[in-house]
């Protein structure tokens, strides 16, 4: 069993996989499509972060690949449908860096409200400009959170503890925490918020959703933060708002196009603008978060390999399974059509294979049947399963 880990993942990921007997190849930086296809020859597990793009072509070419771990929250860099079609499980880390992103958002709100970027720049230039003009406390100001998921909701709680009024908008129905108020529309949030922060996911429908119209709807002098996805934002529209003074300041951590490797050149229309904080996609990049992510995702990959557990997979039916004890386990991914479970059990019965335990879950077009059988596992039964028209992937864990 071999694993390829890209983009300088935390050493804990390597420790967990190697302790399970998996050979790990660690590489810095991302690979382009052709490089990735070549590197995946004979590799069963792939670990990436946000820079590596795993396209349908990559998945189709990687015949040995059984699982991908994205050591981040987002999964938009992976063709999830293609992975599911090939029976490749995908796991992410939806919770592990939440606190890191929230703390960074709070620090940026305070910095922008106190105009610290401008004062810092002036001091480095040798200018002493002590003044309270334009500097405010965040207490009693209204924070508008766009996207009330794991990060947005935790930010809501902390912001309220700091004395802020919290309003939020989410396309899905979400329970408001504390005294936060859900706004009926994005426009109603923008009209009230002193600070607007984006925490939306990377689905294709969110591309370019925040632009000139939304900036125009914000209060004059309001602050803007984006620590979610780069492609959701019209950077030129933000620049225009900053130049006109309609937007009082901004903090941007994610960009439409980002360098692949640390140290590469970076350019943005927002460089050298006053009261603008630019950071290199480090919202979740604390040592604590990266360690937790490394442990969380590597554990999911290991458990999938050895137990067949798909718990928290983002593209396959979810089954939580313990390690196998004293039996064979057949993990059978199939198209979700009527009669498959009956056909599976008929194949076992016809070849005198005794079933000790069985679990089934479905998700959209896929079904996942995991069957524990006694020691008498006939090769003919496996052949019958692997040649069924509905078969996507068959693995025997023993």
Residue closest to 156 by CA, chosen among 199, 108, 113: 199
The sign of the torsion formed by the CA atoms of 336, 342, 343, 349 equals positive
* Bridge partner residues of 251 (DSSP): 225, 277
Decide: 214 and 186 in contact? Cβ < 8 Å: yes
How many whole angstroms separate alpha carbon 155 and alpha carbon 101? 9
Residues 6 or more apart whose Cβ sits within 8 Å of residue 320: 309, 311
Give counts: helices (H), strands (E), the chain.
13, 16
Joined together, the tokens standing for residue 2 give 């071999």
Active site residue: 119, 141, 281, 302, which one? 281
Active site residue 60: no
Structure tokens at 295: 């442990």
Return the bridge partners of 278, or none. Answer: 252
The 3-state DSSP composition of the chain as helix, strand, coil percent (nearest 5) reads: 35, 20, 45
Could you confirm whether 281 is annotated as catalytic? Answer: yes
Give ∠ CA 94-95-96 in degrees, rounded to 5. 110
Q: Which residues contact 7 (CB under 8 A, 6 or more apart)?
A: 28, 29, 30, 48, 49, 50, 51, 52, 71
* Active-site residue flag, 258: yes
User: What pairs with residue 395 in β-bridges?
Assistant: 331
Query: Out of 99, 229, 328, 329, which one is annotated catalytic?
Result: 229
* Structural contact between residues 331 and 370, judged by C-beta atoms closer than 8 angstroms: yes
Around Cβ 4, how many Cβ atoms within 10 Å?
24
Task: Name the residues annotated as catalytic.
Answer: 229, 258, 281
């Amino acid at each position: 069993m071999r694993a390829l880990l890209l983009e300088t993942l935390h050493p804990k990921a390597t420790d967990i996989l190697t302790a399970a007997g998996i050979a790990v190849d660690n590489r810095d930086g991302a690979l382009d499509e052709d490089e990735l296809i070549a590197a995946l020859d004979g590799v069963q597990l792939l670990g990436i972060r946000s820079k590596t793009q795993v396209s349908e072509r990559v998945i189709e070419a990687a015949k040995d690949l059984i699982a991908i771990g994205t050591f981040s929250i987002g999964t938009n860099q992976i063709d999830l449908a293609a992975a599911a079609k090939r029976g490749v499980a995908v796991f992410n880390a939806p919770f592990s860096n939440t606190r890191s992103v929230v703390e960074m958002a709070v620090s940026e709100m305070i910095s922008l409200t106190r105009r610290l970027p401008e004062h810092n720049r002036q001091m480095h230039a040798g200018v002493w400009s002590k003044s309270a003009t334009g500097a405010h406390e965040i207490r009693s100001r209204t924070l508008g959170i766009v996207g009330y998921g794991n990060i947005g909701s935790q930010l809501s709680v902390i912001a309220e503890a700091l004395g802020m009024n919290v309003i939020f908008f989410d396309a899905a129905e979400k329970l408001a925490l504390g005294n936060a108020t859900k706004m009926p529309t994005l426009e109603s949030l923008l009209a009230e918020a002193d600070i607007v922060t984006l925490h939306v996911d990377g689905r294709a429908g969110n591309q370019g959703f925040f632009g000139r119209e939304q900036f125009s709807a914000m209060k004059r002098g309001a602050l803007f933060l984006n620590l979610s996805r780069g492609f959701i934002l019209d950077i030129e529209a933000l620049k225009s708002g900053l130049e006109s003074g309609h937007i009082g300041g901004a903090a941007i951590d994610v960009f439409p196009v980002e360098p692949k490797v640390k140290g590469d050149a970076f350019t943005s229309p927002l460089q050298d603008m006053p009261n603008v904080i630019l950071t290199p996609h480090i919202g979740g990049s604390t040592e604590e978060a990266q360690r937790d992510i490394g442990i969380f995702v590597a554990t999911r990959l290991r458990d999938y390999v050895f137990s067949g557990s798909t718990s928290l997979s983002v593209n396959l039916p979810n089954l939580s399974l313990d390690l196998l004890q004293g039996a064979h386990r057949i993990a059978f991914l199939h198209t979700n059509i009527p009669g498959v479970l009956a056909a599976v059990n008929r194949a076992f019965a016809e070849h005198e294979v005794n079933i000790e335990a069985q679990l089934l879950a479905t998700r959209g077009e896929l079904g996942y049947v995991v069957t524990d059988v006694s020691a008498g596992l006939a090769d003919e039964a496996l052949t019958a399963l692997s040649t069924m028209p509905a078969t996507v992937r068959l693995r025997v864990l023993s």
